[in-house]
Amino acid sequence: MSEVKSSESYREKAKAAEAKPAAFGEDIDLSTYLTSAEEQPYQSEPAQLPVQAKERMLEAGVVLDDPSQRAGTYIQMDNTPVHSSIRGEGVEVMPISQALERHDWLSDYWWRAVAVDADKYTANIELSRSDGYFIRALPGHKTIYPVQACLYLAKAQLAQNAHNIIIAEEGSELDIITGCTTASREDPGLHMGVSEFYIKRGARVTFTMIHSWNPAVSVRPRTGIIVEEDGLFLSNYVLMKPVQSLQMYPSAKCVGENATVRYNSILVTGKGSSLDVGAKTILAAKGAKTEIISRAITTGGNIIARGYIEGDAPEVKGHLECRGLILHGEGTIHAVPELKGNLAGIDLSHEAAVGKIAEEEVEYLMARGLTRTEATATIVRGFLRVDIKGLPPMLGAEIERSVEASEKELM
C-alpha cells in the first residue's frame, strides 16, 4: 500500500479521535473490515483494465476506452493508485503521495479544509497513511474537458481509504467527474474518503460525483471546501444505486468576497438503504452566495436530507431547497433544513417538501393520454430534473445518463 508522510501533530490528533463517532449517521465498527488489500499493478493504459471493472466504472461516469473527452484520469483500486495521467497542459493529476514529494508546499493544504480529528473516519484516513488523488488547475488555466477520477473498491470486506486534495489556482477553471463503485454487486465493504478543495481567487470548479455502490457497502466521505474571493464551487452529487449506509455532510466556507457555492444532490434509494446526506455552507465574506438543492426519492429506504447555511457577513445570500418523494413502500424522508443568521442585512431562505406523488398530477397527465405508469415516470423524471446553473454540457449529459439508466429500475 502506498504511504503518505505526515507530521506527528496530525498523527497525535488522529490517535485521540480514533474511536470518535461521527456527529451524524450510524456508528460503523471499523474493526470488522480488512485494513489492507493486495497491491494492484500500475496500468499505464487504463483501457487495458479488466472489462468488468471498466463496465462498473462506466456506470459511475468514468470513461476509459476513449479518454479523448477527458483532461486527465486518476484510478485507485482498493488503496492503490493504479493509473494517473493528463492530456495536455495546465492541469496536474497524480497520486497524493507523489504530489507531496513533488510539492513542498502541499503540506500547507493538508487537513486545512477538513479537521483530522473530525471523527473516527478522518482519523483512520490519517493513521492509515492513505493515498488518494491530487488534482490542480494551474493559474489562469481553463480545462475544456473534465478530469475524471475513480475510486474502485475491489476486495470484499475492505476498508478503502482516500485522501484527496483539489486546488484550483487563481483564475482557473476545472471540471471534475468522480465515479465511485465496487467490483462486486454484493460483497460488503467500507469506503472512507477525505476531499479537501481549495478554490482560489476567481477560480471555478465543477465537481460532479456519481456513486454506484452495492447494497452491502457503507460509505463515509468527508469533504471540506474553502472558496476565496469571486471563486465558484459547484457540486453535483448523484446516488441512484442502493447502498447500505451512507453519511456525508460536505462543508464549504466562503472566505472571500462574492464567493459562491452551489450544491445539487439527487438521491434515490430503496429498501434496506440508509442515507444521511447534507451540505453546509458558511458565508463568511461580504456578498457570498450559496444554494443547496436536493431531490430525494425513496422506494423503501430511509433518507435524512440535511442543509445548513450560516450568514456571518454583510450582503450574503443563501437558499436551501429540499424536496422528497416517497414513491412506494414504507420509506422515510426526513428533511432538516437549518438557517443561521448572525447579523442584519443577510438574506437566507429555505423550502422543504416531502410527500408522495399527487394523484391530481398523475390524472392531469393521464387526461393527455399517458397510462398511469407513463404519467408517474414523467413526474419522477421531472422531479429528478435539477436545472443546474453553470453546469458544463458534458457533465450535464453524464448526470442525465446516470439518472436515465436508473429510472427503469426505479419504476
Partner 1 sequence: MLKIKHLAVAVGDKEILHDVNMTIGTGETHVLFGPNGSGKTTLLAALMGFPKYRIVNGSITFRGKEITGLSLDERARLGIGMSFQRPPVVRGVKTSDMVAACLKERGDTETIAGLAKRTNLEEFLDREINYGFSGGEIKRSEMMQLLAQKPRLALLDEPESGVDLENIALIGELINDLLEKHCPILDRKCMGLIITHTGHILDYVNARTGYVMCDGRINCHGDPHEILQTIKEKGYGSCVECLLRRRLNV
Binding site for partner 1 (CB under 8 A): 323, 358, 360-361, 363-372, 374-375, 378-379, 381-385
Q: Output the smallest distance, CB 268 to partner 1, in A.
A: 14
Q: How far is the CB of 127 from partner 1 (least distance, A)?
A: 44
Smallest distance, partner 1 to C-beta of residue 371, A: 5
Kindly tell me which of 58 and 366 has the beta carbon lying closer to partner 1. Answer: 366
Q: Which three cell numbers stand for residue 294?
A: 436536493
Residue with Cβ nearer partner 1 (161 or 294): 294
Which is closer to partner 1, CB of 31 or CB of 368?
368
The C-alpha cell that represents 37 in the structure block:
488489500
> Taking the complex as a whole, how short is the minimal distance between the CB of residue 252 and partner 1, in angstroms?
26
Provide, rounded to whole angstroms, the least separation between the CB of residue 374 and partner 1: 8
State in angstroms the smallest separation of the CB of 339 from partner 1: 22
Smallest separation (angstroms) from partner 1 to the CB of 236: 16
Nearer to partner 1, 310 or 321 (CB): 321
Closest CA to 212 of 151, 275, 272: 151
Round to whole Å and give the CA distance between 391 and 173: 12
Nearer to partner 1, 29 or 359 (CB): 359
CB of 358 to partner 1, least distance (A): 7
Q: Which is nearer to partner 1, 83 or 323 (CB)?
A: 323
Give the C-alpha separation, 301 to 269, whole Å.
Answer: 6
Task: Please say which residue, 66 or 360, places its beta carbon nearer to partner 1.
Answer: 360
> Smallest distance from the beta carbon of 361 to partner 1, in angstroms?
5
Q: Which is nearer to partner 1, 153 or 375 (CB)?
A: 375
The answer to whether 155 and 94 are in contact (CB under 8 A) is no
Q: Using H for helix, E for strand and C for coil, what is the string for the chain?
A: CCCCCCCHHHHHHHHHCCCCCCCCCCCCCHHHCECCCCCCCCCCCHHHCCHHHHHHHHHCCCCCCCHHHCCEEEEEECCEEEEEEECCCCEEEEEHHHHHHHCHHHHHHCCCCCCCCCCHHHHHHHHCCCCCEEEEECCCCECCCCEEEEEEECCCCEEEEEEEEEEECCCCEEEEEEEEEECCCCCCEEEEEEEEEEECCCCEEEEEEEEECCCCEEEEEEEEEEECCCCEEEEEEEECCCCCEEEECCEEEECCCCCEEEEEEEEEECCCCEEEECCEEEECCCCCEEEEEEEEEECCCEEEEEEEEEECCCCCEEEEEEEEEECCCCCEEEEEEEEEECCCCCEEEEEEEEECCCHHHHHHHHCCCCCHHHHHHHHHHHHHCCCCCCCCHHHHHHHHHHHHHHHHHHC
* Residue 350 · residue 320 · CB < 8 Å: yes
CA distance 393 to 371: 32
CA dist 402 and 400 (Å) reads 5
Q: Provide the minimum distance between the beta carbon of 403 and partner 1 in the complex, in angstroms, as a whole number.
A: 12
The neighbour count for residue 101, using CB atoms within 10 Å, is 13
Nearest CB to partner 1, comparing residues 123 and 327: 327
Instruction: Work out how close the CB of 296 gets to partner 1 at its nearest, in angstroms, rounded to a whole number.
Output: 13
If the CB atoms of residues 186 and 363 are measured against partner 1, the closer one turns out to be: 363
Closest CB to partner 1 among 11 and 381?
Answer: 381
